[in-house]
Structure formats: structure tokens, C-alpha cells
Amino acid sequence: MKINDLSLYSKYAFRDLLRSYSKILSIIITLLISLFILSAILTIEDSLENELNENSKVLLGGDLEIDYNNREGDKNLIKQVENISTVSQIVEFSTMISTIEKKQNKTSFTRIKAIDQNYPLYGDVIFEPVGSLKKLNEIDNTILVNENIFKNLNLKINDIVKVQNIKFKVIGVVKVLPDIGGAFVFGDFALTGKKTLDKLELNTLGSFLNYEYKIKFDDYKNKDKKINEIKKIFKNNDKVKIRYPENSAGGIKRIIDNFSQFLSLVSISAMLIAGIGIANTLLSFINQKNSSIAVQKAIGINSGNIKTIYYLQLLISLIFISLVAYGLSFFLVPVVDKYISDGLGLNIQASFSLTNLFIVFMVGLLVIIIFSIPTVNSIDQIKASSLFRNVFQSLQFKYSKLSISLSLLLLTILISLFAFRSSIPTYSLIYFASFFVCLAVFFYVSRFIILLLRNNLFNLGISSKIAIKNITQSKSITPITVMSLGLGMTLLLTLAFVGSNFKREIAKSIPEIAPDYFFLGIQNNQKNLFKKIIIDTDKEAVTEIVPMVSAGLVKINGIDPNTYISNSNDSYWVIMNDRRVSWVNTIPKDNPILEGSWWDTSKPNKLQISLDSKVAKDFGVNIGDKFTLRIYGREIEGEVVNFRLVNYQDLSINFAMLLNPQFAENIPHEYLSTIKFKNIKSFNEVNFLDKFPSVSIIKISDYLSKVTDVLNKVFIAVSIISAVTVIIGLVVISSAIIVQRKIKIFQNLVFKILGFSKKEIIMSSIIEFIISFLSIIFFSTIFAVLASKFIIENIFQLKWLFEINIFFYVTIGVGVATLALIIITNFRYLSPKVYPLVRNE
Amino acid sequence: MNKLLKLSNVSLNYTIDNNSINILKNISFEVDYKETISIVGESGSGKTSLIMLIGGLEKNSAGNIFFKDSEISNMTEDEISEIRRKNIGIVFQSFYLIPNYTALENVSLSLEINKLDNATKKAKEILDRFGLSNRFNNLPSQLSGGEQQRVAIARSVVMKPELILADEPTGNLDSENTENISSLLFNYIKDENASLIMVTHDNNLANLTKRKIIIKDGVISENQ
């Protein structure tokens, strides 16, 4: 085709579109909704990643971070660093904050940052009142607490709180910290001055103590040179980890990647469901243009050029829709920013990305072409000779080997575009495979219903007969209803089942298995007193107390595991930092041995290691392999002697690595304890902390309620987004009904002439819906049960149960919405005017 | 050959449910330049099928059709489309204007497809000539039946085709409009030296043509 021709056909396409866009409104709406969701995901993901990248120095807290883990840094080395840059020392630790002046005193497990005058090197701390941050290092024993602690402990400015056995004055509230790359993302936190640190009794294990030195280069231009100098300074110190800005917030990035991968799959599901509607509406649109196309053919425009005009109309619509959808997504960013800012201290802003706009357009284009090929090809069926006969055959989808091959090729490109952009392509491919299996099943279900009802085995009332006739007629909307709603329902039910099972399992673990409290940082000399106090409080309390020491897994069979195990490995956390390890004489009840044998007591001087079987599998470790652990700076080699099945879900004490007590009990250690009280009210946290000021208490129910709260919000967000697939399905059904407008009006007119009541006609619509919907529920439930069971049992390794309430909420909700839509859409056609129809106008 | 159109032993058969139906049998006639012919006959005799074959809108089952020495029966659809858009104008009984195009756009469509300059100007001239200068921007739904057929004729003649095919051009019009349309059509043909093949039941209209071909049961019964 020449440029001149293209320009001419574009003119026709544009003109036709301007004058008949209302007839393809459902295409525009479904495309707009699904492309908006996709745009929103891409824009938000992009904005978050931009924020994380642009603010990576802020998130890290410096141009570099020297992490000394739980030991204070070597002052000589730090001094050398200070000679070439500005250094801010930060010590993070976890401990308890308690009120002491209230009628009912309360405590809170808190992560505290002890900061110096240089903090923060990058970014801003948001706090109030003005000047309170500076006072931390000017006035001893002052503290800024976060808003949550301030509210939960019912604090006022200048109230006194106790941290361990030291009194602190609360001089302000801290709202946002710039360096959220560490453990400050979700928990409660507070800031205090560096000087205060020396007054507290911090134990390395229970306090999760961490010394960090943030570095800012005064002359950033010579950054690389200075980085090399710093590397040289710490060259011989393998206990130190140097972190760079690009490593900051890696965890958040992973969460964003996974979440956006899931949402992208939901959006493409919505697009594919929309595609079913596009094909149907477009066929109706071309059917309405039947005589105009015949005239164009009579004038001498060939079929190929007419098809070009229709493709151009779709292309013009898509360009417009893509721009609007992408533009609208920018309005969502401030909404997300509000929640993100509150939670993570990030400040995201929408930024234009040509790549994202192109992706949105390309996805839309692929979906449109895939679903419009058989529809636009139906133009070949229109003959100019029909104009002489005044008889126009209804068009059908036209498939050919070439068009099917092209559609499959484009579908493959579309799937690849999503799958290979995602962090875990296999999951995306499994998702797509499941989607198309469901689609095929729903299609054949609809054919089966039609076949079953066509045999007319039923002797029913007139409304039922009309309903059955509507379902079995050649232009029935049953296949479209079953496919589009079936897929949406399947997705929604699956997520609802996963969400409810997940929440139930977590909630269930509180009373049944989980202890009431974790106690961290019990010193050797406090162990007996601790036990006594617990027994004195509640004789029937179940106490578990185990030794604990910090150990870093530095070599596996003589090789640094960080050199070959990537951070995408499920068990990477075991080598990421030092882990807490313990020792025990007998096999833990809930940790059965899967391979190997328990401790060889004939070798008390040899370190033996019992390893979590999942970690062993992820790292490719075999029985007899050698692990080198670094404990208190000393490297000790041990042998892996057995693999245990560890169930972290029960929230009891569990360790990835257990050591043989014959070897380990001489290592200086602390104790970790869990307590399950018979009468939890008998335990007073504040009184306990008076006796054990350095011990940290984690109340499991508080912790779980926070987790459940976060999960609730996530599942609500996910369910709302997934409901988009149902909304798209409803638009598709609505458009399918509108496509049948003429048939419906004519049918209802005949019914009116024959004396049918509106009630009988409405009843027939309801019966028609019920027949389709029951089969949708049946098969959606089967798919949702299989998918959610797989996810809950195999991915989360939890117990799956059929949640009857969730089933009813979702099915009744979607059912009522669909029925209402069907009745409202059909209602317009209930009272046709007789005159224009009998005059064939 | 110096004939505008030549049909030689042309037949048209349809096969429905394995039964072959002979619509037209061994039709042969010639049409001179500037000649006007009416095709008359009873309903179902094959009149409309005949002009569909002439316009290249149906393929003949046997025989040959020559348009200006070119045999159109063997041409591809695209080749026939090319001949039709440059040389043949078609007028339908039911007007068949494109409903969402204005009168002017309906007429200029043919000119634009043929990439002629000043398409809008030429379309306006022909509409003006047909008395529709105040109807340029009206949609077909805003026009009367007579006006719609005038636009349809304007569309079919705007390319100045050598052959105009008309299928019952006044069949949907009242007597007053019938008279207006027929005089408009025949005046135009006379002025522009075009040829006309017209299917009609209307004897008065048929009498306006130079020659009358009567079709009966798919064969030419009279060629006067």
C-alpha cells in the first residue's frame, strides 16, 4: 500500500471512528480499564524504582556503609576513613521501652537508632517539635519515638519512659527516617543520642546489635578513587561488609518486583477477557456496517483496503486509549504515595516513560490484533451483489490457517512480553497455561450446556422455554458469559480462598501452637531467676529456654557460599548475615530427622551440625559436607551430620542450624525463651522488665496482629485489583447483550403481540442467567479449589480448608451484580414500540 | 471490436444442496458506446443477476464478458474492482448511501478512491447540478427518498463512467420523484455520452431507452 493510499484510508478511518465510536464504546471501555490497570502497575513500579534508585544514597544513609555487624568498629580504621570523608556512626539495637508514670504502664518492643551529630548524611528526618533532633546529642537521656509508640503508650512530650533501667525523656515524635533500608521498614522505632548508648546494657544477641558507619564523600567527583582507598583500608578485615547505594533497599525492590509481576498477570487476564468482548463487539459493529461495506465494494474498494480502514480505526482508538490510560495512571501515583510515604518513608512521583507507554500500546495492539483478525476477516464474506438483493447475511468469525498461525504467533509474543519481563518467568508461564486451560474448559462447558438444552429433554413453563431457546440459539451470549465471567470468578475465588486460608492459619497458630511471648537476651547468670519468676507468676506456664549464639556461615566445603549462591535463592537469608544458632541434646519433637543421624557423642571435640532440610536442598548440601562457622570472630569447621524438617510456621523456637551440645556448650552464650502461660493476665510486662531491664519481650499476639493487619491490607488490595477481571467480564456480557439489541427488541415485540407479561420475559432472563451462572460457579470453584490448594499447601506449606463463607460471599456478590446488570441492560428492550418495527423502520 | 460491452453465451448457475439452478442461460448481446438499454422481465427471471455479472459483482459460470475488449470473467476481484471504480457506475433501488457519511462525502468517496484532484469541488459540482446544493452536509437520514436517490446517482456518475448500471432506480420512489429522477438520469446520460443498462418493471421508464431486452426464465426472449 502506498503512502497516499494510507493517508486516504486513515482519513476514512478517522471519520468513521468519530461518527460511530458510540457503537464500539464497550471496546473502548474494556480496553481503557485494562490498559489503565497495566499503566498504573508500570507507572507505580517505575516511580518506586526511580525513587529507590535516585534515593539509593538516602536509603543507604551515605555514599557507602561500613557494617561491623554486632561489634564496634576498629577506631583506627574508622579514623583513617574520617580523614577522607565524613562519617556518621549509627548503632541499632532492639530493646523494650516502658512507661513508668501512667496509671496503667505499657511496654513496647522497639528498634532504637543511636545517632551522632552527623546523622543524617543524606535525606531528612521528619520529626516534631522543631529542634528536638538536635537536642538528642545535646541533652543526655532524651529520645524521639515514632508515632505508633507515642500513640500506643499514650505518651506526651516530656513524659518519662524507661529503656532497660534508664529513664529517658520523650522530647519529640519522629515520623519518617530517610535510611529505611534496614530493619526499620515495618516495626516500631526510636532515635536517641550516641552518648546514651554507653549507659545501656546491650547484649549482642538479644539486642540484635548492629554497628554501622555511614560515609559521605565531600568530593563526590573522586568517588571511585575514594571507594578504592576505603576498600584498601578494610582489605584485611573480612568481618566488615561494605555496602553500596545500589544494594540499598534490595528487599523492597524484590517485594515490588514480585507484587508487580502478580498484578501484571491480573491485568493481562483482564485484557484477554476484554479481547473476547472486543471480538464480539467488533463483529456486531461490522455487521451493522454490512451494507456500507458492500457499497464500498461496489464502488471499487477491494476487501483488503476496507479491512485496512477497520484496522486503522482500531489503531487510532488504541493510540487514544493508550494515551488516556497511561495519563490517568499518573493520578494514581499520589494515592499510592500517601500510603507508601506513611509506611516506608518513600516519596514517589510519577515520571513519564516512553518505554512504559510503548509497552502499554504494544500490549493493547497485540490483544486487539489477536482478537480482531477473525472478526475483520469476516469482511471478505460481504458481497456487493447483496445490494441488489437487499439481503445481508449475518457475518461469522472467519478463520484460516494463516490467521490462526498469526494469532498464535502474536499470542506467544504477548505471553513472552509478560513472562520474560517478570522476575520469575516460570510462574508467569504456569499462570498463562492455567488461564488458557480454564478458557478452553469454560468454552466447552458453554457448548455442553447448549447441547444439553438443545435436546429439549425438559417439560417446563413458558419462561424456562424462552430461556432455553435464548441459550441454544445460534447467536446466544452463553459462551461469552460463561468464558468471561468464568475466568474472572476463578481468579477472584482463588485469591479469596488463598487469602482466607492464609489468614486463618496465621490466626489459628496463636492459641493452638504459638507461645505467648518470646524473651530475648537472657544472660547466663539470669537464667535461673528468669525461670523462677515465670513459675512464681504462673505455675502451669510452659517454658522453653534454649542457648543461643551468633554464627556466620562463611564457607561450605571451603568455598565462600556468597560466590555461588545468589540472593534470589530461597535460603539466601542463612548466609546473608550472622544467624542465631543453638544446641540441644535430643531431637526436637517438631523437627524430625529426614536424613543422616543425630549427634555422634563419641566425637565431643568435633563440631557437628544439624541443618534445615530446605536449606540443604536450596544450597545443594549433602550429609558429610563441611561448614565453616565464624563464632566470635573465630572460624570453626564442622560437619553436617543430619537434615531436619523445620516448621517455622508454628512460631516456636526453631533454628536453621543446631550444633552438638558436647562441642557448643562451652561457647559464651545467651538464652532465648518462649513462654505459654496458662493465665496470660498473671504476667505483668512492666514488673518483669524492672527485674530484667536488658531482656526484650516480643508479645506474639501483637506481632501477629501487625502481620495479619498488613496481610489484610494486601489481600484487600489484591482482591480489589482482581475484581477488575470480573468488572471487565460484566462489561463484556453487557456489550454482548447490547449486540443482541435488534434480536431482543424483535423477540420482545413478538412476545408483546402474543400477550406475554413483562414479568414472564424478565423471569426468562433470570432463568437464562441462573443456568449459565450455576455452571460457572461449579467450574470456577473446582479451578479455584485446585489452584488455591496448590498455593497454600505447596508454596506456603499451610493447611488448606474449603472456606464456605468466602465461597458464598464471592459467588453471591458476583451473581447479584451480574444479574442486576443483565436485567438493567435487558430492561430497555422490554417495551418496544410496535409501529416502527412492523413498518420495518 | 469497438463495442463497450459484449456478452457471449454467458450462463450463471448456483448449486444449492447439490442441486444446480440455472439462473441465466447462454446470454449473448452487445452494447454500443452511448447506447441505453433497459432489461425487463418478470420477478426471478434473472434481470438483476445479469447486471451483477456485467458489473463484475458475480462470476459467470460459462461464456465470456468483454468490457472494452478486456475479458472481465477471468479477472481477479481486485482487477475487476479497478475497472468498476473507473468505468462503471451503479445505481441501486434502495439507494445504499453510507449512513454516517454526508451527501458530499458519499459522492466524493469515488473520486478520492481514484485519487482525483479537487474531489470535494467536483462532488459539489455534481450535487449542485442535481439540485442538491443545499444538502451537502446532510446525512442520508436527513434526506427524502428522492434526494437520497439523487445523491446515489450523483455518486455513480461523478467519475464520468462510460457505463451506468441501474437496478430499478425508481422502484422505491413515488410517481413525482420517479419522473424527476428519470429525467435527471437520462439528461445526464445524454449530456455526458454515457451508456446505460437499466433493470426496470416500469414500462414508461423502459420506453425511454433505445433498446429493450426482455428476459424470461434466464434467457433473452426479445432484444428489440
Contact A292 B112 (CB under 8 A): no
Q: What is the pLDDT of residues A127-164, one digit of tens each?
A: 889 889 889 888 888 999 988 889 888 899 999 998 88
Chain A residues lying within 8 Å of B98, measured CB to CB: 292, 295-296
In order of A72, A628, B46, B180, the CA distances from B211 in angstroms are 115, 110, 18, 21
Nearest CA in chain A to B76: A302
Chain A residues lying within 8 Å of B167, measured CB to CB: 388
Contact A301 B81 (CB under 8 A): yes
- Which pLDDT belongs to residue A423? 72
Of A299, A384, A389, the CB nearest to B109: A299
> Dihedral angle at the C-alpha atoms of A473, A478, A479, A480, nearest 10 degrees?
120
Which distant-in-sequence residues (6+ apart) come within 8 Å of A173 by Cβ?
A: A127, A128, A144, A145, A146, A147, A150, A157
What mean pLDDT comes out for the span B138-152?
91
Residue type (1 letter), A684: N
Calculate the average pLDDT of chain A. 83
Which distant-in-sequence residues (6+ apart) come within 8 Å of A505 by Cβ?
A: A649, A792, A796, A798, A799
Contact A300 B85 (CB under 8 A): yes
With a CB-CB cutoff of 8 Å, which residues 568-587 of chain A face chain B? none
Contact B57 A385 (CB under 8 A): yes
Lowest mean pLDDT among A8-22, A25-39, A244-258, A771-785: A244-258
CA distance A418 to A425: 8
Of B77, B100, B112, the CB nearest to A16: B100
Q: What is the pLDDT of residues A108-126, one digit of tens each?
A: 888 888 998 888 888 888 8
What mean pLDDT comes out for the span A762-778?
88
Q: Which helix (H) or strand (E) holds A553?
A: strand A542-556
What mean pLDDT comes out for the span B98-111?
89
The distance of A468 to chain B (nearest Cα, Å) reads 30
Chain A residues lying within 8 Å of B78, measured CB to CB: 302, 304
> HEC string of chain B?
CCCCEEEEEEEEEEEECCEEEEEEEEEEEEECCCCEEEEEECCCCCHHHHHHHHCCCCCCCEEEEEECCEECCCCCHHHHHHHHHHHEEEECCCCCCCCCCCHHHHHHHHHHHCCCCCHHHHHHHHHHHCCCCCCCCCCHHHCCHHHHHHHHHHHHHCCCCCEEEEECCCCCCCHHHHHHHHHHHHHHHHHHCCEEEEECCCHHHHCCCCEEEEEECCEEEEEC
A15 interfaces chain B, CB cutoff of 8 Å = yes
Domain range for residue B62? 5-223
Contact A390 B94 (CB under 8 A): yes
Which of B39, B58, B79, B92 to mutate: most A Cβ within 10 Å?
A: B92
C-alpha grid cell for residue A192?
536517641
Contact B85 A301 (CB under 8 A): yes
- Which pLDDT belongs to residue A651? 63
Q: What is the pLDDT of residues A627-641, one digit of tens each?
A: 999 887 788 999 999
Quickly count: other Cβ atoms within 10 Å of residue B157's Cβ: 23
Q: What is the pLDDT of residues A679-695, one digit of tens each?
A: 888 888 888 888 888 78
What mean pLDDT comes out for the span B214-218?
92
Nearest CA in chain B to A841: B141
Segment B178-184 long-range contacts (CB within 8 Å, at least 24 positions apart): B178/B202, B178/B205, B180/B146, B181/B146, B181/B149, B181/B150, B181/B153, B182/B208, B184/B130, B184/B150, B184/B153
Contact A20 B115 (CB under 8 A): no
Q: What is the pLDDT of residues A305-320, one digit of tens each?
A: 999 999 999 999 999 9
Find the CATH number of the domain harbouring B193. Answer: 3.40.50.300
Q: What is the pLDDT of residues A52-102, one digit of tens each?
A: 777 777 878 888 888 887 778 888 888 888 888 899 998 888 888 888 877
CA distance A463 to A770: 13
- Which pLDDT belongs to residue A837? 52
Lowest mean pLDDT among A3-7, A20-24, A798-802: A3-7
Nearest CA in chain A to B99: A292
- Which pLDDT belongs to residue A471? 85
Beta-bridge mates of residue A243? A65
Model confidence at A579, pLDDT cuts 50, 70, 90, reads confident
Which of B52, B142, B158 to mutate: most A Cβ within 10 Å?
A: B52
Chain B residues lying within 8 Å of A389, measured CB to CB: 48
- Which pLDDT belongs to residue A183? 47
pLDDT exceeds 60 at position A182: no
**CB contact burial B55-72 (16+ within 10 A = b; e otherwise):** bbbbebbebebbbbeeeb
Q: Percentage of chain A surpassing pLDDT 70?
A: 91
Q: Answer for the pair A170, A161: CB distance below 8 angstroms, yes or no.
A: yes
CA distance A545 to A529: 13
C-alpha grid cell for residue B204?
414508461
With a CB-CB cutoff of 8 Å, which residues 283-322 of chain A face chain B? 291-292, 294-304
Contact A389 B112 (CB under 8 A): no
In order of A109, A537, A687, the CA distances from A683 in angstroms are 16, 6, 8
Nearest CA in chain B to A384: B57
Which of B12, B87, B94, B100 to mutate: most A Cβ within 10 Å?
A: B100
Contact A302 B110 (CB under 8 A): no
Burial (CB < 10 A; 0-12, 13-18, 19+), residue A195, is middle
- 3-state SS class at A424: coil
Lowest mean pLDDT among A5-19, A642-656, B78-92: A642-656
Chain A residues lying within 8 Å of B85, measured CB to CB: 299-301
Chain A residues lying within 8 Å of B55, measured CB to CB: 298, 384
Burial (CB < 10 A; 0-12, 13-18, 19+), residue A344, is buried
Contact B96 A8 (CB under 8 A): no
- Which pLDDT belongs to residue A680? 80
**A441 vs A791, higher pLDDT:** A441
Chain A residues lying within 8 Å of B101, measured CB to CB: 15
Q: How many residues does chain B have?
A: 224
Chain B residues lying within 8 Å of A391, measured CB to CB: none
Number of compact structural domains in chain B: 1
Which is nearest to A19 in space by CA: A292, A276, A274? A292
Of B57, B115, B155, the CB nearest to A384: B57
- Which pLDDT belongs to residue B125? 95
